[in-house]
Each structure stands twice: as C-alpha cells, then as structure tokens.
Amino acid sequence: MKKNIPFAMLLRAIRYCSSFTLFINERESLRMALLLNKYPEAFIRKQFELVFKRFNISEAVSVYNYERIRSNIITTCYIEARQVDYDKNLFIHFTYCTNMRTFPIRFHALWRKYFSFSPINDINPVLGTRNLPNLQLQLINREDIR
C-alpha cells in the first residue's frame, strides 16, 4: 500500500476542481476507488486530513471557504524534501512477485536476529522493489528515457 497515493489524489482534486461541488464529487469518487483497492477507511481519512494539515488549514472545507483554501493550496509551493543519510541507510532492491509478499518482514526479522549486537546494527536497511520485466518494458527504447 502506498501512503502517498491518497494524499496526492486529493491534492490533485483540489487543484483541478474549480467548484466545491465538483471537489466533493471527485473526493467521493477517489474514496470509492481507494476502498475498492482495499485501502482501509481510517487510512484514507487520515491521508485526506493530512493534505489540509500540510498546508496549515485547520478549518473544515465548505462552500464558503473552498475558493480561498483552493487558492492557498495552489499558490503554496509544497515540496517535502527529505535528507537521506547514506552513512546510516542501506538501500536494498529486490524484484517483486507474489511469492515475495512476506520478504520484507522476514528480511527485517533476520536482520535483527543476526545484526542486533554488531556494529552494522546502526545502519537502517531500506527495502525497495523492482517490477518483473514485462513486454511493455522490453518494447521501450531505453535511450529515450535518459
């Protein structure tokens, strides 16, 4: 489950919906799409609330203040830059397939078991996935991407 998907979807809806009615309709469509993709309701609500929290908006969105809130969000530059300490993080990439679903849990359990009392324990392993090669990736000219 990707945490930023509900956040980014609602943020985009606010930017593209010029009226409060359109925004409400779009928000409910997004909520339904996320629920159909097995996102928990509480998680969706939390991420939607986080959008307004990130822009320091504490009031509830209504017909009367939607335009002001929307213009505030549109004009505010929001880029959350995180500094990565490469001395403290180890990035590990693995190819994801359905039988690798439990790999991150097992990997972290093994990491704690074997490295808990070693100097390497200060390093934080960060797991990332790669997709399996498919026909679409094979047909893309890799030179065009660079």
Name the amino acid, one letter, at 111. Answer: W
Q: What is the pLDDT of residue 75?
A: 86
pLDDT band, very low/low/confident/very high, at 146 (cuts 50, 70, 90): very low
Average confidence (pLDDT) over 116-136: 78
How many angstroms from the chain centroid is the CA of residue 27? 17
**pLDDT tens across 53-80, in order?**
888 888 888 999 999 999 988 888 766 6
pLDDT at residue 50 greater than cutoff 80: yes
34: Cβ–Cβ under 8 A, 6 or more apart, which residues? 5, 6, 9, 44
pLDDT at 137 over 90: no
In a 13 Å sphere around the CA of 127, the CA atoms on its Cβ side amount to 14
Least confident of 29-33, 40-44, 52-56, 118-122: 118-122
Hunting for tokens 């969706």 — which residue is that?
44
CA distances (Å), 3 to each of 20, 21, 40, 109, in order?
A: 25, 26, 11, 23
Which pair of tokens denotes residue 124?
């934080």
Predicted confidence (pLDDT) at residue 143 exceeds the cutoff of 60: no
Give me the count of residues in the chain.
Answer: 146
Average pLDDT over residues 19-44: 92
Write down the pTM of the prediction.
0.55
Task: Give me Rg for the CA atoms of the chain.
Answer: 20
Residue 100 contacts residue 92 (beta carbons within 8 Å): no
DSSP string across 79-95: -------TTTEEEEEEE
